[in-house]
Structure 1
Amino acid sequence: MIPYEQQNTELIKEFNRYVRQHPTIAEQIPDEAIIILQLEGDEAFNARARQLAENRRSEGHPIVFVKIKQLQPLRSRIARLELQQVAQTGA
Protein backbone atom coordinates (compact mmCIF):
# COMPACT_ATOMS: atom_id res chain seq x y z
CA MET A 1 0.00 0.00 0.00
CA ILE A 2 1.29 3.45 -0.90
CA PRO A 3 1.53 5.81 2.09
CA TYR A 4 -1.07 8.59 2.05
CA GLU A 5 1.42 11.42 1.56
CA GLN A 6 3.08 9.78 -1.43
CA GLN A 7 -0.23 8.90 -3.06
CA ASN A 8 -1.58 12.41 -2.45
CA THR A 9 1.54 13.96 -4.00
CA GLU A 10 1.17 11.79 -7.11
CA LEU A 11 -2.51 12.69 -7.42
CA ILE A 12 -1.75 16.40 -7.00
CA LYS A 13 0.72 16.19 -9.89
CA GLU A 14 -1.87 14.43 -12.05
CA PHE A 15 -4.55 16.95 -11.11
CA ASN A 16 -2.21 19.84 -11.97
CA ARG A 17 -1.54 18.28 -15.38
CA TYR A 18 -5.26 17.82 -15.94
CA VAL A 19 -6.02 21.44 -15.04
CA ARG A 20 -3.33 22.70 -17.42
CA GLN A 21 -4.95 20.66 -20.20
CA HIS A 22 -8.51 21.64 -19.18
CA PRO A 23 -8.30 25.27 -17.97
CA THR A 24 -12.07 25.60 -17.60
CA ILE A 25 -11.79 23.36 -14.53
CA ALA A 26 -9.62 25.97 -12.81
CA GLU A 27 -12.31 28.59 -13.46
CA GLN A 28 -14.73 26.54 -11.34
CA ILE A 29 -12.44 26.52 -8.29
CA PRO A 30 -12.79 29.54 -5.97
CA ASP A 31 -9.71 31.60 -5.15
CA GLU A 32 -7.81 30.35 -2.09
CA ALA A 33 -9.81 27.12 -2.05
CA ILE A 34 -8.54 24.09 -0.22
CA ILE A 35 -8.64 21.25 -2.74
CA ILE A 36 -9.24 17.79 -1.32
CA LEU A 37 -8.59 14.92 -3.68
CA GLN A 38 -10.76 11.82 -3.50
CA LEU A 39 -9.96 8.64 -5.39
CA GLU A 40 -12.95 6.56 -6.38
CA GLY A 41 -12.70 3.12 -4.81
CA ASP A 42 -10.02 3.98 -2.21
CA GLU A 43 -11.92 4.56 1.03
CA ALA A 44 -8.81 4.59 3.24
CA PHE A 45 -7.25 7.39 1.19
CA ASN A 46 -10.54 9.29 0.97
CA ALA A 47 -11.19 9.05 4.72
CA ARG A 48 -7.73 10.44 5.48
CA ALA A 49 -8.23 13.29 3.01
CA ARG A 50 -11.64 14.15 4.50
CA GLN A 51 -10.14 14.11 8.00
CA LEU A 52 -7.46 16.58 6.93
CA ALA A 53 -10.14 18.75 5.31
CA GLU A 54 -12.10 18.86 8.56
CA ASN A 55 -8.95 19.94 10.40
CA ARG A 56 -8.57 22.88 7.98
CA ARG A 57 -12.22 23.93 7.88
CA SER A 58 -11.66 26.64 10.50
CA GLU A 59 -9.26 28.51 8.20
CA GLY A 60 -12.26 30.04 6.42
CA HIS A 61 -11.24 29.04 2.90
CA PRO A 62 -13.69 27.33 0.57
CA ILE A 63 -13.22 23.57 0.37
CA VAL A 64 -13.52 21.80 -2.98
CA PHE A 65 -13.59 18.02 -3.25
CA VAL A 66 -12.18 16.62 -6.48
CA LYS A 67 -13.22 13.03 -7.13
CA ILE A 68 -10.82 11.26 -9.45
CA LYS A 69 -12.95 8.60 -11.10
CA GLN A 70 -10.31 6.90 -13.26
CA LEU A 71 -6.55 7.02 -13.77
CA GLN A 72 -4.82 5.87 -16.92
CA PRO A 73 -1.75 3.65 -16.49
CA LEU A 74 1.54 5.51 -16.20
CA ARG A 75 3.49 5.38 -19.40
CA SER A 76 6.88 6.60 -20.42
CA ARG A 77 6.96 9.54 -22.81
CA ILE A 78 10.26 8.36 -24.31
CA ALA A 79 9.72 7.86 -28.03
CA ARG A 80 13.14 6.42 -28.82
CA LEU A 81 16.32 5.65 -26.93
CA GLU A 82 19.69 4.02 -27.35
CA LEU A 83 21.67 1.99 -24.83
CA GLN A 84 25.42 1.81 -24.88
CA GLN A 85 27.13 -0.66 -22.60
CA VAL A 86 30.54 0.35 -21.32
CA ALA A 87 33.10 -2.42 -20.84
CA GLN A 88 34.34 -2.93 -17.30
CA THR A 89 38.02 -2.51 -16.69
CA GLY A 90 40.26 -4.70 -14.55
CA ALA A 91 37.88 -7.01 -12.78
Structure 2
Amino acid sequence: MRLAALCLPLIFCAACVQFPEVDDATDQTARDADYPDLIPLDGVPPPSTEAQTERDETQAALEARVSGLQARAAGLRGAVLSGDDRSRLDDKIE
Protein backbone atom coordinates (compact mmCIF):
# COMPACT_ATOMS: atom_id res chain seq x y z
CA MET A 1 0.00 0.00 0.00
CA ARG A 2 2.84 2.37 0.85
CA LEU A 3 4.60 1.53 -2.38
CA ALA A 4 1.48 2.39 -4.34
CA ALA A 5 1.11 5.65 -2.43
CA LEU A 6 4.72 6.54 -3.24
CA CYS A 7 4.58 5.52 -6.90
CA LEU A 8 1.24 7.14 -7.68
CA PRO A 9 2.55 10.76 -7.61
CA LEU A 10 5.47 9.75 -9.83
CA ILE A 11 3.08 8.24 -12.35
CA PHE A 12 0.97 11.40 -12.32
CA CYS A 13 4.08 13.54 -12.85
CA ALA A 14 5.19 11.36 -15.75
CA ALA A 15 1.79 11.86 -17.37
CA CYS A 16 2.35 15.63 -17.36
CA VAL A 17 5.61 15.55 -19.33
CA GLN A 18 5.64 17.82 -22.36
CA PHE A 19 6.67 15.88 -25.46
CA PRO A 20 8.46 17.61 -28.33
CA GLU A 21 6.44 18.47 -31.39
CA VAL A 22 6.73 15.83 -34.08
CA ASP A 23 6.24 18.42 -36.80
CA ASP A 24 9.53 20.06 -35.84
CA ALA A 25 11.43 16.86 -36.75
CA THR A 26 10.95 17.45 -40.49
CA ASP A 27 11.72 20.57 -42.44
CA GLN A 28 9.16 22.59 -44.34
CA THR A 29 10.19 21.34 -47.81
CA ALA A 30 9.54 17.73 -46.79
CA ARG A 31 6.12 18.65 -45.42
CA ASP A 32 5.23 20.57 -48.60
CA ALA A 33 6.42 17.81 -50.97
CA ASP A 34 3.89 15.98 -53.11
CA TYR A 35 3.05 12.37 -52.45
CA PRO A 36 4.90 9.95 -54.75
CA ASP A 37 3.09 8.68 -57.82
CA LEU A 38 1.58 5.23 -57.51
CA ILE A 39 2.37 2.94 -60.41
CA PRO A 40 0.67 -0.31 -61.42
CA LEU A 41 2.51 -3.53 -60.73
CA ASP A 42 2.16 -4.71 -64.32
CA GLY A 43 5.65 -3.48 -65.22
CA VAL A 44 7.36 -5.10 -62.23
CA PRO A 45 9.24 -8.26 -63.20
CA PRO A 46 8.34 -11.49 -61.39
CA PRO A 47 10.65 -12.68 -58.62
CA SER A 48 13.66 -14.67 -59.69
CA THR A 49 13.28 -18.43 -59.63
CA GLU A 50 17.01 -19.03 -59.44
CA ALA A 51 18.37 -20.15 -56.11
CA GLN A 52 20.80 -17.68 -54.63
CA THR A 53 22.89 -20.47 -53.10
CA GLU A 54 23.57 -23.98 -54.15
CA ARG A 55 21.46 -26.56 -52.34
CA ASP A 56 24.47 -28.72 -51.47
CA GLU A 57 26.29 -25.76 -49.90
CA THR A 58 23.23 -24.78 -47.89
CA GLN A 59 22.64 -28.34 -46.73
CA ALA A 60 26.28 -28.72 -45.69
CA ALA A 61 26.23 -25.40 -43.82
CA LEU A 62 23.03 -26.37 -41.98
CA GLU A 63 24.42 -29.78 -41.03
CA ALA A 64 27.61 -28.17 -39.75
CA ARG A 65 25.60 -25.71 -37.67
CA VAL A 66 23.40 -28.51 -36.28
CA SER A 67 26.39 -30.58 -35.24
CA GLY A 68 28.03 -27.53 -33.67
CA LEU A 69 24.91 -26.70 -31.68
CA GLN A 70 24.53 -30.32 -30.57
CA ALA A 71 28.14 -30.37 -29.38
CA ARG A 72 27.60 -27.11 -27.53
CA ALA A 73 24.45 -28.50 -25.88
CA ALA A 74 26.30 -31.67 -24.87
CA GLY A 75 28.99 -29.55 -23.25
CA LEU A 76 26.43 -27.55 -21.29
CA ARG A 77 24.43 -30.51 -20.02
CA GLY A 78 26.49 -31.11 -16.90
CA ALA A 79 27.60 -27.51 -16.41
CA VAL A 80 24.32 -26.06 -15.19
CA LEU A 81 23.17 -28.69 -12.71
CA SER A 82 25.22 -31.27 -10.90
CA GLY A 83 24.11 -34.90 -10.97
CA ASP A 84 22.72 -34.71 -7.43
CA ASP A 85 20.72 -31.57 -8.18
CA ARG A 86 19.40 -33.08 -11.39
CA SER A 87 18.24 -36.29 -9.68
CA ARG A 88 16.64 -34.30 -6.85
CA LEU A 89 14.68 -32.21 -9.35
CA ASP A 90 13.70 -35.29 -11.33
CA ASP A 91 12.38 -36.88 -8.12
CA LYS A 92 10.26 -33.78 -7.42
CA ILE A 93 8.81 -33.84 -10.95
CA GLU A 94 7.69 -37.46 -10.66
Structure possessing the higher relative contact order (Cα contacts under 8 Å, 6 or more residues apart): 1
Query: Could you say which TM-score interval applies, normalised by the shorter chain?
Result: under 0.3
Q: Name whichever structure is richer in helix by fraction.
A: 2
TM-score (norm 1): 0.23
TM-score (norm 2): 0.22
Q: Name whichever structure is richer in strand by fraction.
A: 1
